[in-house]
Amino acid sequence: MSASAAKPTQAPQFDVSGRVAIVTGASSGLGRQFARVLHAAGARVIAVARREDRLAELAAECPGVVPHVLDVTDEDGCKSLTDRVVADHGSIDVLVNNAGLGSNDTALDEDLDNFRYVLEVNLVSVYNLARLAARPMVEAGRGSIINTASIFGLRSSYPLPNANYAASKAGVVNLTRDLAGQWGRHGVRVNAIAPGYFSSEMADPLFADERGLQRVLRGTPMRRIGEEHELDGALVFLASDASSFVTGHTLVVDGGWSTH
């Protein structure tokens, strides 16, 4: 092949080779895919989740991925995680705050402790880990924090009863904006991805019900749910220098669901 015919396999601004990335909620679903994608793109990935067996499977599939068992609501454990990553790898270049949960209790039936716990996982832990990762990023003068929000952080979850999840993800959207404002002058970018309907442990029961699936499809202009790989580009874009002047933004990937 001549030099003129040769094409680069990847635009250099999307390169994340050698960057140190922490991914939470990495034992399944979107988090597992995020860890795989960053690993395939050349990043040194620390995969964080509670389920040790799932992390071991991921590490076996992606040699070089470092598994780290942690409940993100453990404040001391989160501090130990970021300290260890800096000690072992010298930096934290990318943080993907992906761990999350929700439940479909109605507001009249939900136990208040459950509501608090969902916010603790989905919002408070995002704030805590972002603060912890931002310290070495500020010192280095660069870094990218990517929070997993949701279309339910931008719209009501109606007709699904999901107040805990919707409230927490709306908090993630505005937390992303505020932290971006605080840390932008230090070269630390904070953005979010708001997925629409994708297959996951949380969403699959809805898709298993034909009426629920049809309701999702009718509300999505592209008339399908998202495929696992369709968040890869958004992730690499926000993790890399391709988004070097993007901060405080929530990137919606939903097949058009939020257009109405």
Q: Cite the active site residues.
A: 165
SS3 108: coil
In angstroms, rounded to a whole number, what is the distance separating the alpha carbons of residues 257 and 171? 20
In angstroms, rounded to a whole number, what is the distance separating the alpha carbons of residues 250 and 146? 9
Concatenated DSSP letters for 123-163?
Answer: IIHHHHHHHHHHHHHHHHT-EEEEEE--GGGTS--TTS--H
Tokens standing for residue 24: 């939470």
Cα dist from 188 to 54, 66, 102, 242, 248, whole Å: 31, 24, 29, 14, 11
Name residue 145's beta-bridge partners: 95, 190
**Which contacts (CB < 8 Å, 24+ apart) does range 114-119 have?**
114/164, 115/163, 115/164, 117/73, 118/164, 118/165, 118/168, 119/164, 119/167, 119/168, 119/171
